[in-house]
Amino acid sequence: MTGPQPRRGRPRDASRDRALLDATLAVLTESGYGALTTAAVAARAGVSTATLYRRWPSKEVMVVDAAAAYAKGLTAQTDTGTLEGDLRALLRDKAASLTGNEGGVLRTLIGEAAYSPSLAEALANAFMVPVRQRVEEMAQRAVDRGEIPPVEHADLLGDMVIGPMMSRFFLTPLPPSQVDAATAAETADRILPFLLRAFGHESHGTVTSEK
């Protein structure tokens, strides 16, 4: 009986894959999905088109993977010990991801998702689902600490975090001075008291502000 056969070829380089996906997002943001080509991505990354096709069979699959990798990095878990602290961290996190260079990439991806069901699904799974899960978890921690009563339809709370942010930064025309990091954080803090009430949190006095 012979032993296991050795694997052929070199293992995939995760850092190279991420560099290729970053190049995909850069070209996508500059040119849009319709004008994006594997040749343009390969040139931006400094590789051959054959290198791309060894990893992804089509540009759609490549863009879907790029969107998933990008969105995955936008949701970091934070446990501050209080509902107010958790929500503030999440809101500021989302405000940062919807403004600046990150916001430009996400805006492009959302626009292209209207024409690509697979891209829309990838964005939902990598961007919306983790936010909903994160919000449900922070709500449950707040319930366990006795900060709030049990929340009915907790699965909707994540949409109440994303919705105001999308409306403010994507749907409202704003001058450049109102989309920088400091103003984004300030906007997040202004939304915070409304979300706390939606969670059933009874604030004693004003919500504290952290610089």
Rounded to whole angstroms, the Cα distance separating 207 from 194 reads 10
Q: Tell me whether residue 9 is in a domain.
A: no
Q: Domain check: are 47 and 77 in the same one?
A: no
Give the chain's mean pLDDT: 83
Q: Tell me whether residue 2 is in a domain.
A: no
pLDDT band at 50 (very low <50, low <70, confident <90, very high): very high
Cα 141 to chain centroid distance, Å, stands at: 23
Q: Domain check: are 26 and 128 in the same one?
A: no
Rounded to whole angstroms, the Cα distance separating 146 from 126 reads 31
Q: Domain check: are 32 and 103 in the same one?
A: no
Mean pLDDT along residues 99-125: 83
Structural domain including 134 reads 73-198
Strand positions, DSSP E, the chain: none
CB atoms within 10 A of CB 181: 12
Mean pLDDT along residues 7-35: 78
Q: Tell me whether residue 209 is in a domain.
A: no
| Rg, C-alpha atoms of the chain | 21
Rounded to whole angstroms, the Cα distance separating 59 from 23 reads 12
| Domain termination residue (choose one: 59, 93, 113) | 59
Q: What is the pTM of this model?
A: 0.74
Lowest mean pLDDT among 14-23, 132-141, 150-159, 197-206: 197-206
Q: Tell me whether residue 82 is in a domain.
A: yes
Whether 207 has a pLDDT exceeding 50, the answer reads: yes
Contact status, residue 18 vs residue 55, Cβ threshold 8 Å: no
Question: What is the pLDDT at residue 143?
Answer: 95
Cα 70 to chain centroid distance, Å, stands at: 7
Q: Tell me whether residue 110 is in a domain.
A: yes
- Structural domain tally of the chain? 2
